[in-house]
């Protein structure tokens, strides 16, 4: 009876666990408080914090998909199956809610155990910090997606009904608590034995990301669309915190690799100078692989980048498409090559996509015995391709074993530049230390504080902030940042395909002969149309996902999100 009640409690707070001892083998979770001696062993603390690696999906595991490439709800990709809003109606359950709270409960057990441990406080504080780092990461995912949420800092017991059935806390208070967790982690974890170990630098990188989100979200939100007025004082507070955290990482000695693609297509990132924290995979010995390469190296139609993403990349003279003096044609050659188009553009683009398009009855062959590849837009995704792997380990889902970057230098550089630009305190030296290092690696001229105006700027921001946002978009394309960037910039309407039909457009193949119209749909001017007949219409409520109805039934105090 006791165990059933524990499970009911977990369901009530979103922690749908299959058994009470899923997270820790022995003893059961509801008995751990009676075994303080368990936490007096550093090996036990190590074993429990090691489990937290699974909270970072990286490139996925086995058949499951990861953070990179797959999340096509953005203005960079066109999903061949059509990427609609996360929810169009209120769902009965949502794994994003349930799993996060289950993970938070596990973190809370470690935190309380470390606090009660008789180990030297420096040692126990390290493990408490690791658990708080991971709790912060889980709450960050919740607050971005759901807004106000319940902050739970204890492994709840059955008699704590005031918390189990309590209301959600204001998102501001939750984010403040996230930062307190991260500050503790930064002060206590230490350097880390290697780049796949927990470290203070990883916590600083996460803090920079959280604070940049909070600062810009508070600046750009509106009462009409978000139910919250802009808060300029809080925006400045968090933008300053973002800049401070990012600067601490920038001063820690990380440097960019000479080649942009290195962190995405390497078997091992242990010695990569720009990687802060990564997830290792191994095959065949350890049988721990992923499928990110296989999904972008198969006969299944890929989620290609769209026309707006392709057009976002600057030309080698440093100018946008409307301003360049170079050939700005986007027409694919008759033999399906786009080498001429790539030759005059930002070098990152030629890493992200292949040098020829694949679509309809014009498949692309990447290497000898390669699968015949196509993309929803013609632009096939090359970013994760690793030639040193044999064909089997390239093509088999669950057998890819390249390492996945989790925290790395580029997003930190971009966070620093953006925060300083938003604060109005950015200097040319700041640009040179961050964005311009990325520009140089991409073969582009340095950015100045007064870049040329781009007619495509539809965000209502200064030319400088637009160009910093462009650099972020191009540098982190397919890295699962873009959707959340549009949320925090209050630009979610840019995903409305009625207003922006080019989100569904791909390569201009008007000069390619022999196209079978039964295999692909083209616009009147020759652009590939990825999903004819589909539309994604913006509504303000999509800034937050709805609270699952099952949670509202269990706890009426939760209340539903704005607009749902």
Q: What is the pLDDT of residues 158-214, one digit of tens each?
A: 556 566 678 999 999 999 999 999 999 999 999 999 999 999 999 999 999 999 999
Q: What is the mean pLDDT of residues 98-110?
A: 95
CA distance to 337, 338, 476, 507, 531, per residue, from 511 (Å)? 11, 12, 31, 11, 21
pLDDT value at residue 35:
80
pLDDT value at residue 161:
57
* Alpha-carbon dihedral sign for residues 75, 72, 80, 348: positive
Percent of the chain scoring above 70 in pLDDT: 92
Judge whether residue 260 has pLDDT over 90.
yes
Decide: 267 and 443 in contact? Cβ < 8 Å.
no
pLDDT value at residue 282:
92
pLDDT value at residue 36:
83
Mean pLDDT of the chain: 92
Half-sphere exposure of residue 140, counting CA atoms within 13 Å on the CB side? 24
Distance CA 305, CA 76 (A): 5
Question: Per-residue pLDDT tens for 223-232?
Answer: 999 899 999 9
pLDDT value at residue 285:
73
Residue appearing with tokens 């030319």: 463
Report residue 8's pLDDT band, with 50, 70 and 90 as the boundaries: very low
Which residue ranges make up each domain of the chain?
Answer: 192-280+403-494, 297-382+496-529
pLDDT value at residue 108:
96
Query: ∠ CA(257), CA(260), CA(452), 5° rounding?
Result: 110
Print the SS3 string covering 430-444. Answer: HHHHCHHHHHHHCCC
Please count the other Cβ atoms lying within 10 Å of the Cβ belonging to residue 465: 19
Q: What is the mean pLDDT of residues 463-467?
A: 98
Distance CA 339, CA 177 (A): 50
Question: Per-residue pLDDT tens for 109-157?
Answer: 999 999 999 999 999 999 999 999 999 999 999 999 999 999 999 886 6
Cross-sheet strand order for the sheet of 521-522 = 505-508, 527-529, 521-522
* Alpha-carbon dihedral sign for residues 312, 317, 322, 327: negative
Residue 376, classified by CB atoms within 10 Å of its CB into exposed (0-12), middle (13-18) or buried (19+), is: buried
Structural tokens at position 465 = 């902030």
Decide: 153 and 169 in contact? Cβ < 8 Å.
no
pLDDT value at residue 427:
98
Residue appearing with tokens 């090996």: 43
Residue appearing with tokens 């014009």: 362
Report residue 284's pLDDT band, with 50, 70 and 90 as the boundaries: confident
Judge whether residue 370 has pLDDT over 50.
yes
Distance CA 409, CA 257 (A): 10
Q: What is the mean pLDDT of residues 17-23?
A: 34
CA distance to 288, 293, 313, 469, 490, per residue, from 458 (Å)? 44, 34, 16, 12, 12
More confident residue, 5 or 559: 559
Second-level CATH architecture of 192-280+403-494:
Alpha Horseshoe (1.25)
Structural tokens at position 517 = 């119209």
Decide: 12 and 97 in contact? Cβ < 8 Å.
no
Decide: 503 and 497 in contact? Cβ < 8 Å.
yes
Ramachandran category for residue 83: left, alpha or beta (phi over 0 → left; psi -120 to 50 → alpha):
beta
Residue appearing with tokens 């096509």: 72
The radius of gyration of the chain's CA atoms, rounded to the nearest angstrom, is: 24
Question: Per-residue pLDDT tens for 301-341?
Answer: 999 999 999 999 999 999 999 999 999 999 999 999 999 99
Distance CA 407, CA 78 (A): 26
pLDDT value at residue 400:
96
pLDDT value at residue 425:
98
Lowest mean pLDDT among 70-84, 85-99, 148-162, 383-397: 148-162
More confident residue, 558 or 19: 558
Distance CA 286, CA 243 (A): 40
Q: What is the mean pLDDT of residues 59-83?
A: 96
Residue appearing with tokens 């990687």: 275
CA distance to 246, 387, 397, 530, 536, per residue, from 382 (Å)? 30, 11, 16, 19, 27
Q: What is the mean pLDDT of residues 434-454?
A: 98
pLDDT value at residue 283:
82
pLDDT value at residue 157:
61
H or E stretch at 508: strand 505-508
| Cα 315 from chain centre | 26
pLDDT value at residue 203:
98
- pTM check: above 0.75: yes
Distance CA 543, CA 564 (A): 11
């Amino acid at each position: 009876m006791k165990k059933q009640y524990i499970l009911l409690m977990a369901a009530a707070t979103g922690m749908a666990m299959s058994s009470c001892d899923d997270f820790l083998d022995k003893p059961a979770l509801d008995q751990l408080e009676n075994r303080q001696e368990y936490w007096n062993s550093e090996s036990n603390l190590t074993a429990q914090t090691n489990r937290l690696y699974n909270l970072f999906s990286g490139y996925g595991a086995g058949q499951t998909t990861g953070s990179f490439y797959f999340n096509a709800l953005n203005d960079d990709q066109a999903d061949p199956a059509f990427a609609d809003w996360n929810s169009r109606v209120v769902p009965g359950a949502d794994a994003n809610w349930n799993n996060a709270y289950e993970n938070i409960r596990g973190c809370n057990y470690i935190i309380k155990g470390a606090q009660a441990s008789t180990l030297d406080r420096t040692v126990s504080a390290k493990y408490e910090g690791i658990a708080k780092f991971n709790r912060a990461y889980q709450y960050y995912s919740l607050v971005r997606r759901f807004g106000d949420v319940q902050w739970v800092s204890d492994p709840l017991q059955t008699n704590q009904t005031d918390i189990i059935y309590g209301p959600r806390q204001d998102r501001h208070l939750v984010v403040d608590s996230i930062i307190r967790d991260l500050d503790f982690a930064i002060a206590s974890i230490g350097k880390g034995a290697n780049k796949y170990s927990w470290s203070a630098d990883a916590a600083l990188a996460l803090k920079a990301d959280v604070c940049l989100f909070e600062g810009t979200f508070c600046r750009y939100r509106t009462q009409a669309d978000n139910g919250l007025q802009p808060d300029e004082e809080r925006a400045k507070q968090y933008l300053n915190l973002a800049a401070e955290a990012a600067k601490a990482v920038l001063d820690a000695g990380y440097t960019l690799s000479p080649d942009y693609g290195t962190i995405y297509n390497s078997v091992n990132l242990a010695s990569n100078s720009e990687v802060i924290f990564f997830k290792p995979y191994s095959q065949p010995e350890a049988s721990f692989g992923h499928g990110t390469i296989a999904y972008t190296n198969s006969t299944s139609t890929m989620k290609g980048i769209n026309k707006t993403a392709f057009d976002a990349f600057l030309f080698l003279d440093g100018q946008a498409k409307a301003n360049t003096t170079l050939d700005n044609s986007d027409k694919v050659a008759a033999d399906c090559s786009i080498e001429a188009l790539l030759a005059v553009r930002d070098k990152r683009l030629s890493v992200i996509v292949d040098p020829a398009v694949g679509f309809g009855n014009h498949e692309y062959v990447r290497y000898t015995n390669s699968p015949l590849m196509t993309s929803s837009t013609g632009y096939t995704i090359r970013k994760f391709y690793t030639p040193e792997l044999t064909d089997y380990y390239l093509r088999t889902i669950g057998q890819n074993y390249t390492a996945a970057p989790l925290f790395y230098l580029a997003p930190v550089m971009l966070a620093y530049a953006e925060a300083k630009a938003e604060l109005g305190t950015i200097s040319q030296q700041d640009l040179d230390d961050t964005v311009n290092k990325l520009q140089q690696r991409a073969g582009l001229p340095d950015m100045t504080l007064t870049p040329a105006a781009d007619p495509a700027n539809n965000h209502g921001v200064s030319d400088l902030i637009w160009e910093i946002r462009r650099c972020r978009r191009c540098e982190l394309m397919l890295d699962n940042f873009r959707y959340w960037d549009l949320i925090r910039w209050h630009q979610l309407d840019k995903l409305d395909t009625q207003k922006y039909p080019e989100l569904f457009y791909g390569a201009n193949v008007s000069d390619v002969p022999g196209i079978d119209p039964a295999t692909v749909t083209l616009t009147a001017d020759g652009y590939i149309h990825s999903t004819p007949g589909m539309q994604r219409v913006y509504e303000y409520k999509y800034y937050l996902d709805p609270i699952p109805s099952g949670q509202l039934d269990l706890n009426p105090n939760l209340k539903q999100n704005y607009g749902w």
